[in-house]
Amino acid sequence: MPFLRFKGFEKEKLQSVSPLIIEEFARIAEVSEEKVKLELLLVEQLTNSPLSLEIMMFPREQRQHDEIASTMNRILQKQGFTNVHIFFILLSPELYYKEGLPLQVKSSG
């Protein structure tokens, strides 16, 4: 965790730049590189859809989200991926479970 999920990307190009994506993401989000998970989603487009990167993670400061999006866009553009839509799906630690147990217990007040 966090998960970076790529849709519509060429696997080989994405794999070649994945170490840099992980390194930069981990630096900005302040997590260890081992926690960053990359996924290439194979989807069947029913309508014309742009390349997209959805980032599922716990909330950070706005400046970190902005820097992550800017950095990921720059890295992807250098690989020839243009007009990439980047968006965040923010997760709640109280609603994230490992082996049926919440990652973080909400305090009662």
* CATH number, domain containing residue 29: 3.30.429.10
- Is residue 82 situated within a structural domain? yes
Which residues have C-beta within 8 Å of that of residue 69, sequence separation ≥ 6?
A: 86, 88
Within 10 A of 62 (CB to CB), how many other CB atoms are there?
8
Pairwise CA distance, residues 48 & 103, whole Å: 38
How many CA within 13 A on the CB side of residue 101? 4
At 41-59, the pLDDT tens digits run 998 888 989 999 999 999 9
Residue 106: the pLDDT is: 61
Helix (H) or strand (E) holding 56: strand 52-57
- Is residue 21 situated within a structural domain? yes
Mean pLDDT for all residues in the chain: 93
Residue 37: the pLDDT is: 97
Contact 20, 75 (CB under 8 A): yes
Q: Which domain holds residue 96?
A: 3-102
pLDDT > 70 fraction of the chain, expressed in percent and rounded? 95
Contact 84, 76 (CB under 8 A): yes
- Is residue 59 situated within a structural domain? yes
Three-state SS for 89? strand
- Is residue 108 situated within a structural domain? no
* Domain total of the chain: 1
Within 10 A of 86 (CB to CB), how many other CB atoms are there?
17
pLDDT tops 90 at residue 17: yes
- Is residue 107 situated within a structural domain? no
At 64-92, the pLDDT tens digits run 999 999 999 999 999 999 999 999 999 99
- Is residue 109 situated within a structural domain? no
